[in-house]
Amino acid sequence: MPTTQEHTQSIDSDPEAHSALFKEIMESIEVVFTHFSQPEGFLAERLGDAMRVLRMNPTEEEVRKHLADLGGPQYIDERTFHHFIKDELIKHFEKVQVVVDYLKQYDKDGKGALSREELQEAMRGRECQELQASVAKVPSNSQGHLDIVELAKCFLELSDFQDPFQILASTDAVFKYFSKPCGVPAARLGHAMRVLGMNPTEDEVEKRLTDLGRPEYIDQNVFHNLMEEELGKPIPKVQELLDYLKQFDKDGKGALSKEELQEVMRGSELSPDEVQASLRKMPRNSDGHLDIAKLSKYFLELGGSQVGTETARRDVASRVREAIVRIAEAEAQYDLKDAKAFAQFLQDADVRLVRARYLTELVRSGRPLPRRQELESKTFVPPNSEEAETALVSHQEVQTWAEGNRDAIICSISHAWETREHPDPCRYQLEHIVQRVVLYEAAFKADVWVFYDYASLFQFERFSPEEQNSFGAAMQNMHVMYAHEHTLTLRIESLTPDDVWNRMMANETELVPVYDKDEKNVVAKPLKDLFPNRNAYTSRGWCMAEVEWSSLRTVNLQHQRIDGVDDHSDDGSRVKLNGRIPMTPAKFRSKMEEAVFTHRSDAESVIRLQAKIFFEKVTVCEHLELEGLPADQVLALAHALPLYKNLKSLVLKTFRCDEEQVEALAKAHWAH
């Protein structure tokens, strides 16, 4: 098998491509590690899922072999995971480089982009409607030319859904990529075959080399004939799936309608609506139908090649639903102004809100907040009521609110975790939350629903794939909870006061129900048996990110510190000056270098997401209303103002500044 060093050397032959590909590899590794990570590390049994999310397609046997090579661990630490996945991803991205090499033959001016005429020449003999449509989505440069690396990715994305040798990845391009002066090294034959879409075992590669007489190098003619022979063989799994799905394609156009898809999935435990919901993000043709080849890919990725029987059909249908949702998670986009998009996010990621009335009941009875898992079936009877309510708000209730048929206030809580096992063992945060939300209930005569991560997201230990997928999808789009225009952020920066903390540390009779990984159950424990985390809120990476996302709303009063310290105005009146301005991405990155993360690999993901959301919100903002800004935030506004390209009105209320801030703000205003 080729070594990591061999892979790196082959990509290094093109430094420009190496830089872009390596960056994408590293970003993908960090996102996936975060997605599947638990406190102990990466759960080894999810390795195959992680590889599939990264668009690799290992068999279960290959995954078992990888785990055996790693020593059969239960958990994989971050360093080991990075090295392993990086090596596997480099193998994958070599395919991109093969196509890049192929396309460069048609780049007459050598600038790394193809004109429409050059692209037409490159695609000659490979025309197909889907390929043309896919290429049309590649952005062009100022000369109207298409970037070769982006084209290569586009071609390979498409070829994943079809016979891998039909579109490009020609044997000539592969030979050129792997070739040395004497030909393709025999040691790299297996890898070259995998680039062309085959998946031979090591024994099969050895047999082919033996049949060739065990050469050290393979010349171009022999290589071409061998690949032609191998590629001409049928691919049973792919063909079986295609043939199975074609049975339901009534008009023979290679795509399934909604009704035809429901027929395919009949016999599964999914309702027709669930089938459509799980597949709604998949690309469709002009008739809104789903391409059969794409559906085949998803079936194959989940190992669903044995199709046709009722039992197998149900198994494949259920697993393909999970795969599609998981793969689509990283690309999900939610409009941060649309209430229906917010409701859709909660449903997609299965995030649940908590009723403020239930939190009030916890404070009244002196109980800490339970985990999401325990809240699933929790009910309570509110004061002055005889009917029980669920502690968690249903997705249907949120949907009714989003459609404008119910009044509710949605509050996202930004807070620190004070122990590893429970974020608020002393109920300090809970009391602050309840003090605020009861005011909202009284003032607005509306339901108040709360997002609090411990209660709203599935917590460690997540046993089922559904719980794992829910948590991963929520973390991928956590900004939606804090940046959406239809939510409020309530921020708690202070930790439990030392006297309260120390008193509970000494009290072994006051117990906190927490999950115990050894007992595999919730166990009541004293505070002294929990693992403390007394790092300041302002030093924690995720807390800093939540502050930034929350500061991007059009009206900054939707972001409030509820344990804040009073400031004084010049006339002696007491006013809250806790308003915040979002940091520019450059400043945020520098702050992140000092931030504390439980998993340091989260940092780069948070930085990228903050920059994306910053520009998404700031560049389209036309009206900005800011209140309660202290002097340093007025200066921050002056620095950020030039980035508000479409700003038409700015309203400042109740702020503090001196001559320096006034001058900076005035200059920024005139420059704008």
Q: What confidence category does residue 27 fall into, taking pLDDT thresholds of 50, 70 and 90?
A: low
pLDDT tens digit string along 245-289? 677 778 777 777 767 776 766 655 445 554 455 455 454 555 556
pLDDT tens digit string along 59-90? 777 788 888 878 788 888 777 877 777 677 66
Q: Which residues pair with 624 in a beta bridge?
A: 650
| Residue 123 vs residue 190, higher pLDDT | 190
* 414 in Cβ contact with 426 (< 8 Å): no
Least confident of 284-293, 361-370, 389-398: 284-293
Give the global pTM.
0.53
What share of the chain has pLDDT > 70, as a percent?
65
Instruction: Report which of 356, 496, 354 is spatially closest to residue 416, judged by C-alpha positions.
Output: 496
Own/partner pairs for 466-473, CB < 8 Å, 24+ apart?
466/322, 466/350, 467/373, 468/36, 468/46, 469/322, 469/325, 469/326, 469/329, 470/349, 470/350, 470/351, 472/35, 472/36, 472/326, 472/329, 473/325, 473/326, 473/329, 473/332, 473/348, 473/349, 473/350
The mean of the pLDDT values for the chain is 75
Mean pLDDT computed over 503-529: 95
Mean pLDDT computed over 432-459: 95
| Residue 598 vs residue 55, higher pLDDT | 598
Instruction: Report which of 298, 296, 300 is spatially closest to residue 325, judged by C-alpha positions.
Output: 298
Mean pLDDT computed over 597-606: 67
| Residue 332 vs residue 144, higher pLDDT | 144
- DSSP per position, 126-145: ---HHHHHHHTTSPB-TTS-
Residue 321 predicted with pLDDT over 70:
no
d(CA 314, CA 307): 9
d(CA 324, CA 343): 20
Q: Which two tokens stand for residue 264?
A: 């395919």
Q: Which two tokens stand for residue 252?
A: 């023979």
Least confident of 33-42, 182-191, 228-237, 621-630: 228-237
Q: Which residues pair with 410 in a beta bridge?
A: 449
Q: Which two tokens stand for residue 1?
A: 């098998």
Query: Residue 98's pLDDT is what?
Result: 64
pLDDT tens digit string along 287-318? 556 666 656 554 544 433 333 344 444 444 44
Mean pLDDT computed over 177-205: 76
Query: Residue 316's pLDDT is what?
Result: 43
Query: Residue 583's pLDDT is what?
Result: 81
| Residue 60 vs residue 39, higher pLDDT | 60
Query: Residue 617's pLDDT is what?
Result: 77
Mean pLDDT computed over 550-568: 78
pLDDT tens digit string along 405-445? 999 999 999 999 999 999 999 999 999 999 999 999 999 98
Residue 188 predicted with pLDDT over 90:
no
β 408-414/488-491 pair status: parallel
Number of C-beta neighbours around residue 239 at 10 A: 12
- DSSP per position, 406-426: S-EEEEEEE---SBSS-S-TT
Q: Where are the alpha helices (DSSP H) in 445-564?
A: 453-456, 465-476, 479-483, 498-506, 541-550
Q: What confidence category does residue 23 fall into, taking pLDDT thresholds of 50, 70 and 90?
A: low
Query: Residue 231's pLDDT is what?
Result: 59
Mean pLDDT computed over 41-52: 78
